[in-house]
Amino acid sequence: MLFADPHIARLAEEVPIAGRTLCHLGRVLGDRWGVSDDEVARSFPCDAWVTRPTLVAWRGVTVHESAVDLWRWVAQVRLAPYSYDWIDNGGHRSLSQPIFHITKRPLWESALADGSYTYSTRGAQLSDVGFIHCSFWHQVETVANYIYADWDGDLLLLQADPDAIPSEIRVENLDGGTKGFPHIYGPLPVKAVRAVHQLVRQSDTWKLPRTLSP
């Protein structure tokens, strides 16, 4: 797998080391490794997009994996640029935003006593499903009204920090849809919950509280 990186030059020009810069005469220290002359001479689709790059840096690594699994590894760059999570983040996918879980008050109070939250979704535990259902901010109301449409008690919204969750988090849709939802494949530590909000019931519809509304 090869990467041509025309963006690193600007950063390199701004980072002096011992009175010199990383960039000198269009080259960056370590701008080529793991590639052969034949690979450097190849044409790639990105050549049509960046016709006159400031600098071309060649880095190659051999990955013994199927194209499908490899693409999942590469595609995470859109959420965490230049952070290849399957290598240097212990297999945990970096998320640039908090994730949310909807629950009933007694379940959260029980988790506070135990130190971790182990319920997957309404009527199911983590041990039953294998992961904890979560949502991104813009998905909360849709999920709340789908799962808890007939519930007229309190509903709490747990706001969790992905970086504080040791278990794997996958953004996926197991029902075949195109919109991914975050799933925590393990317990949710109480200490990873940064805030607890209360959803608002208006005209038989669940709404985000004002503190989270756009």
* CATH for 149: 3.20.170.20
Is 94 among the domain residues? Answer: no
pLDDT at 18 over 50: no
Could you give the count of Cα atoms lying within 13 Å of 108 in the half-sphere of its Cβ?
Answer: 18
Residue 109: left if φ>0, alpha if ψ -120 to 50, beta else—which one? alpha
Is 132 among the domain residues? Answer: yes
Q: What is the pLDDT of residue 82?
A: 47
Q: What is the pLDDT of residue 213?
A: 63
Q: What is the pLDDT of residue 2?
A: 44
Q: Are residues 126 and 174 in the same domain?
A: yes
Higher local confidence (pLDDT), 157 or 19 = 157
- Domains in the chain, number: 2
Q: What is the pLDDT of residue 11?
A: 38
Please state the rounded mean pLDDT for residues 54-66: 79
- Domain extent, residue 156, equals 99-207
**Which of 34, 63, 88 represents a domain boundary (last residue)?**
88
Q: Are residues 76 and 140 in the same domain?
A: no
Is 199 among the domain residues? Answer: yes
Higher local confidence (pLDDT), 29 or 154 = 154
Q: Are residues 108 and 196 in the same domain?
A: yes
Q: Are residues 201 and 117 in the same domain?
A: yes
Q: Are residues 135 and 171 in the same domain?
A: yes
Is 178 among the domain residues? Answer: yes
Q: Give the tokens for residue 38.
A: 């034949």
Q: Are residues 60 and 30 in the same domain?
A: yes
Where do we find the tokens 């959803």? 199
Q: Are residues 66 and 30 in the same domain?
A: yes
Q: What is the pLDDT of residue 76?
A: 57
- The average confidence (pLDDT) of the chain is 79
pLDDT at 23 over 60: no
Residue 12 phi, psi (nearest 5): -60, -35
- pLDDT tens, position by position, 86-95: 454 555 555 6
Cα 24 to Cα 201: distance, rounded to the nearest angstrom: 62
